[in-house]
């Protein structure tokens, strides 16, 4: 990760919702050397907020990134924020971390941001999010991959407020029920909050249109579950994670925040794990 001084990391968060505030809480507890949250971008800086990082400046416009000497911009505000803040982030910071990977189902947006990154020497970083680490899948993709299947299983409550409620009766569900099957692109477009993570597995492997995704509601599930299988020239892979939901947002996993903390700490650590 490219930063001006490898022993320091000046951060700007785009959004200060459940995920970002959890990351801020963990960083405050762990106090990694050289890491400082210097700015938080929000839509309404006048609104009262609690538990903001000490000393962080609230900003509302992309032009306010200039002059803050930021090393890394971390988006944690939802898919629209990627298009709004992406170019400015790449022009004013070494790295732009995109948590809302579903934004990259928009091929024109991805191409535009890649062009800016190439021009500026910046980097677009997609964290592993709820999947923890997909290093094995990314490594396997060096050789041809035949197939990747990603199944996402969550309790009915986690699917409320999404299109799943139009497909099945989430309040009366008695057994594990698959309500969607399609490509990673289709899943992320239809369920941008819950299936955002499917884009991460797709980008790590064989792409948005070849990665197959199934979405499942299970009343017996206590956690958010990801089951990933892959086969190809490397051999076969089976990965299963059972993540605790984020207490303040059951649609997201605690691991989503933890992966950002790990990414931040590795950016300044003498030993990268």
Within 10 angstroms of residue 201's Cβ, the number of other Cβ atoms is 28
**Is 224 known to sit in a ligand binding site?**
no
Tell me the average pLDDT across 103-121: 96
Confidence at residue 13, expressed as pLDDT on a 0 to 100 scale: 97
Among this protein's residues, is 226 annotated catalytic?
Answer: yes
pLDDT confidence tier of residue 179, bands split at 50, 70 and 90: very high
Q: What is the per-residue pLDDT for 70?
A: 96
Residues in CB range of 87: below 8 A, 6 or more apart: 62, 112, 113, 116
Phi and psi for 139 in degrees, rounded to 5? Answer: -65, -40
What residue spans define the domains of the chain?
Answer: 9-126, 135-251
Number of H helices, E strands in the chain: 9, 13
CATH dotted code for 135-251 = 3.30.360.10
Beta strands 235-243 and 224-232, pairing class: antiparallel
Q: For residue 86, which of 57, 49, 113 has the smallest C-alpha distance?
A: 113
**Which two three-digit tokens encode residue 120?**
């500026």
Q: What is the pLDDT of residue 132?
A: 82
Tens digits of residue pLDDT in 29-66: 999 999 999 999 988 777 766 678 888 999 999 999 99
**Distance between CA atoms of residues 272 and 266, nearest Å:** 5
Q: Is the pLDDT of residue 3 over 80?
A: no
The long-range contacts involving 63-69, CB below 8 angstroms and separated by at least 24 positions, are 63/88, 64/39, 65/12, 65/39, 65/41, 65/89, 65/91, 65/92, 65/93, 66/92, 68/10, 68/12, 68/38, 68/39, 68/92, 69/4, 69/10, 69/38
Residue 1 has pLDDT above 60, yes or no: no
Beta bridge partners of 58: 40
Pairwise CA distance, residues 63 & 178, whole Å: 45
Angle formed by the axes of helices 79-92 and 107-120, nearest 10°: 10
Q: How far apart are CA 97 and CA 257, in angstroms?
A: 13
Q: Which of 10, 92, 150, 226 is catalytic?
A: 226
Per-residue pLDDT tens over the stretch 126-147: 999 888 888 899 999 999 999 9
* CATH 3.40.50.720 at 9-126, yes or no: yes
Q: Is 130 annotated in some ligand binding site?
A: yes
pLDDT at position 5: 67
């Amino acid at each position: 990760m490219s930063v001006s001084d490898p022993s320091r990391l000046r951060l700007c968060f785009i959004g200060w919702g459940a995920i970002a505030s959890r990351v801020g809480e963990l960083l405050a507890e762990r106090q990694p050397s050289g890491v400082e949250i210097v700015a938080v971008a929000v839509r309404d800086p006048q609104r009262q907020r609690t538990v903001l990082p000490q000393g962080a400046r609230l900003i509302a416009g992309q032009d306010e990134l200039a002059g803050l000497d930021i090393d890394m911009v971390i988006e944690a505000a939802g898919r629209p924020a990627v298009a709004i803040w992406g170019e400015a982030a790449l022009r004013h910071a070494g790295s732009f971390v995109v948590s809302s990977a579903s934004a990259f189902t928009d091929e024109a947006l991805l191409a535009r941001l890649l062009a800016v990154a190439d021009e500026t020497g910046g980097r677009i970083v997609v964290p592993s999010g709820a999947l923890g680490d997909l290093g094995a899948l990314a490594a396997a993709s060096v050789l041809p991959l035949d197939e990747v299947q990603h199944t996402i299983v969550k309790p009915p409550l986690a699917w409320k407020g999404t299109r799943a409620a139009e497909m099945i009766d989430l309040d009366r569900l008695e057994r594990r029920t698959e309500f969607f099957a399609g490509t990673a692109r289709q899943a992320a477009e239809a369920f941008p909050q819950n299936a955002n993570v499917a884009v991460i597995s797709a980008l790590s492997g064989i792409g948005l249109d070849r990665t197959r995704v199934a979405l499942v509601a299970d009343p017996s599930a206590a956690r958010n579950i990801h089951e990933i299988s892959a086969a190809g020239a490397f051999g076969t892979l089976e990965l299963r994670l059972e993540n605790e939901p984020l207490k303040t947002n059951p649609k997201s996993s605690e691991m989503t925040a933890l992966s950002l903390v790990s990414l931040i700490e590795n950016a300044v650590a003498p030993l990268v794990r």
